[in-house]
Structure 1
Amino acid sequence: MRFLFRTLFFTVFILGFSLSGFSQDKVKSLKVMTYNIWNGFDWGKDSLRQESLIQWVKEQNPDVLALQELCGYNEEKLRHDAAQWGHPYVQILKEGGYPTALTSKEPIELIEKNVSNFWHGLLHVKTFGIDFFVVHLSPSDSDTRLREAKQIKSRIQELQSDSYIILGDFNTHSPFDSYWLESRKELRDGMATAKNEKYSNLRLGEFDYAPMAELLSIPTVDLSLGKADLEESFTFPTPALIGLYDQTPETILQKRVRIDYILASPALAQTCSQVNIFNHGATEKLSDHFPMMAEFQIAK
């Protein structure tokens, strides 16, 4: 009887250990980053900043990277940069203007390149089994951003998928930030001053949360919720702008906002284990935007 008990105990122990190992083997980490690189490193003239940013991205080792403002880039140039951070697969929205792009460690399936109904365009691709929508919404007009958000919402709802991510430079505020944004009178007044006859970044003179609310209703989850201090998660502007466009250290601090996001489907959001907004240190000089990265634990 004692022999039988010992045999049974060790069998259960070994079986449990094996199943535990099997379960761990079925899950892998997936790191997804978004980065607005600021006018394609001054349309390719700022090679020092380009080299520094490439090295920084390489050190972070994302599996998927969404990029905005690839000014002066074509596919060949993007492939050259992406190879340096370990991504053999790339898709770029367009050549000319302000292209977006996505690079990946795994093959990328192109779903849609749309440059006619969006301010900068919409890139929809699929990699790692996830639909990625790389966005760079209008930087100048709240009504245009709302139209763009509605188009993105329609596309995703037609997918009938539970695995999608929207990421990039949204140029809009989140209703989750209203608790601190509404007290920023100097920021709102500055945006009102910039208003022209055709475009406005405010809605009836107030901060505009409508585009982000539209995207959240798809539904999506703002991955920073519960994983970052939203008021300290500013992604624009950076100290790299000091001395340009009349920017001073004081004005940079006054204008800090969160306008770059990673939104994920509810099912995918449940697998998100970590979010980092890299808004201190080396990234202060690499672009006028700060990058952010989300890490998922997904089934292989």
Structure 2
Amino acid sequence: MKNLNFLEKVVFFINSIAAFLLLLSYVLPNIPPKTFAILSVLSLGVPFLILLNVLFFVYWLLKIKKQLLLSLVVIAVGYFLFGSLYKFSNWEENDADSLSIMNYNVRLFNLYDWIEDDAIDKKLVDFVKNENPDVLCIQEYHEQESIDFSFYKYKYKKLDDKTKKIGQAIFSQYPIVNSGSVQFPKTANNAIFADIVKGKDTVRVYNLHLQSLRIDPRVQSLTTQNSEELIHGIGEAFKLQQNQTELFLKHKNQSPHKSIISGDFNNSAFSYVYKAIRGDMKDAFKQQGNGFGRTYNFKFFPLRIDFILVDKSWNVNSFKTYDVQYSDHFPILTKISF
């Protein structure tokens, strides 16, 4: 510190705070939100903290200062605990017997014109038809005449008991021999499942939608909203997510089949609920993803809150995140083989 000028001391002080918060965030997957709900909010900001510490590292590197070790060590610890935030792998085996699964939160097919395009619903359906995944899991599905997924042979939809229009859906090119819902109390969010037969294999596909955080990603909304209320609201949502995760895992642990979990977790890969749900399963993005893998259109830093998890005994052949803006989420697709 003696060799630093005043500005550099200020920078290092901010650097120390960022490094401490990032280090603190590494223990969050082990802390139930019910215990420290406010602290668990930090898990959403881990990608930002990583990028911030990278910038500090580069800053000190250019200045040839030993202070670069602070961020370097903290980032290295995170790499060994969670792997790289940015992925370079993305390859595909030529396997005709692979099963492709797409996950997509469609935001009610732009029902309330969030995107200024009257043809969003048609474009979204055409996109899915062109990509032609074997299994399609949709969150925030909305029943309407303009939505036609009749090119799928089999389907299971669970719509809200009151409106009979909004809910979740699983579409499949392979027979569905059993299906059902894991209802979450006092919320429109839930989990549905379908047992799908491909050849001699029966696979249980879960479509999971955990409690929404209700964050408006627009700059003007984030800057005008009361920060204390925002953090408190997210903390309460995380508590509900923990309850929903416990109900979901109780159901999954009784499944007679190996599972694929596809869904919008409304939380990051650095969270308690992600760690609990993933267990010993493979995260398809971590296996074969490329880039940051962001799945939510958040302007400030990449957020990956949509996931496809598969049984550890299966091979993940490829993974792709599509940069199409038909919703506030981006669709993801993986191909697996048994």
Note whether the superposition's TM-score is higher than 0.5: yes
1:81 maps onto 2:148 in alignment? yes
1:36 to 81, 97, 105: 105
Inter-CA distance 131–297: structure 2 relative to 1 (3 Å threshold): same
* Contact kept in structure 2, 1:93 and 1:122, CA below 8 Å: no
Inter-CA distance 101–118: structure 2 relative to 1 (3 Å threshold): farther
SS at match of 2:149: helix
* Contact kept in structure 2, 1:118 and 1:148, CA below 8 Å: no
Total equivalences in the alignment: 213
1:50 maps onto 2:146 in alignment? no
* Contact kept in structure 2, 1:100 and 1:123, CA below 8 Å: yes
1:109 Cα deviation from its structure 2 partner: 2.9
1:101 to 169, 182, 205: 169
* Aligned counterparts of 1:27 and 1:290: Cα–Cα separation in 2: 26
Inter-CA distance 124–88: structure 2 relative to 1 (3 Å threshold): same
* Aligned counterparts of 1:277 and 1:118: Cα–Cα separation in 2: 32
* Aligned counterparts of 2:283 and 2:154: Cα–Cα separation in 1: 27
1:174 maps onto 2:269 in alignment? yes
* Contact kept in structure 1, 2:103 and 2:136, CA below 8 Å: yes
1:258 Cα deviation from its structure 2 partner: 0.2
* Aligned counterparts of 1:143 and 1:277: Cα–Cα separation in 2: 29
Letter in 1 for 2:305: I
With the length of structure 1 as denominator, give the TM-score of the two structures: 0.64
Task: Give ranges in structure 1 of 5+ residues lacking alignment.
Answer: 1-25, 176-208, 238-251
Which residue pairs with 1:114 in the alignment?
182
1:224 maps onto 2:285 in alignment? yes
128-137 vs 107-116, which moves further: 107-116
Task: Give ranges in structure 2 of 5+ residues lacking alignment.
Answer: 1-94, 214-236
* Aligned counterparts of 1:265 and 1:174: Cα–Cα separation in 2: 17
Inter-CA distance 49–27: structure 2 relative to 1 (3 Å threshold): closer
1:59 maps onto 2:145 in alignment? no
Letter in 1 for 2:273: P
1:213 to 275, 282, 286: 275
* Contact kept in structure 1, 2:184 and 2:244, CA below 8 Å: no
SS at match of 1:93: strand
Letter in 2 for 1:92: K
With the length of structure 2 as denominator, give the TM-score of the two structures: 0.57
CA RMSD of aligned residues (A): 2.7
Which residue pairs with 1:256 in the alignment?
302
* Aligned counterparts of 1:118 and 1:170: Cα–Cα separation in 2: 17
Inter-CA distance 127–212: structure 2 relative to 1 (3 Å threshold): same
* Aligned counterparts of 2:272 and 2:138: Cα–Cα separation in 1: 24
SS at match of 1:102: strand
SS at match of 1:31: strand
Which residue pairs with 1:289 in the alignment?
329
Superposed CA offset, 1:131-183 (max 9, x none):
0111110013001111111222122222253x2011111101112xxxxxxxx
Which residue pairs with 2:296 in the alignment?
236
* Aligned counterparts of 1:57 and 1:92: Cα–Cα separation in 2: 17
* Aligned counterparts of 2:256 and 2:125: Cα–Cα separation in 1: 36
2:212 to 130, 134, 139: 139
Superposed CA offset, 1:234-271 (max 9, x none):
0001xxxxxxxxxxxxxx43043000000111113xx2
* Contact kept in structure 2, 1:68 and 1:98, CA below 8 Å: no
* Contact kept in structure 2, 1:169 and 1:259, CA below 8 Å: yes
Letter in 1 for 2:209: H
1:214 Cα deviation from its structure 2 partner: 0.7
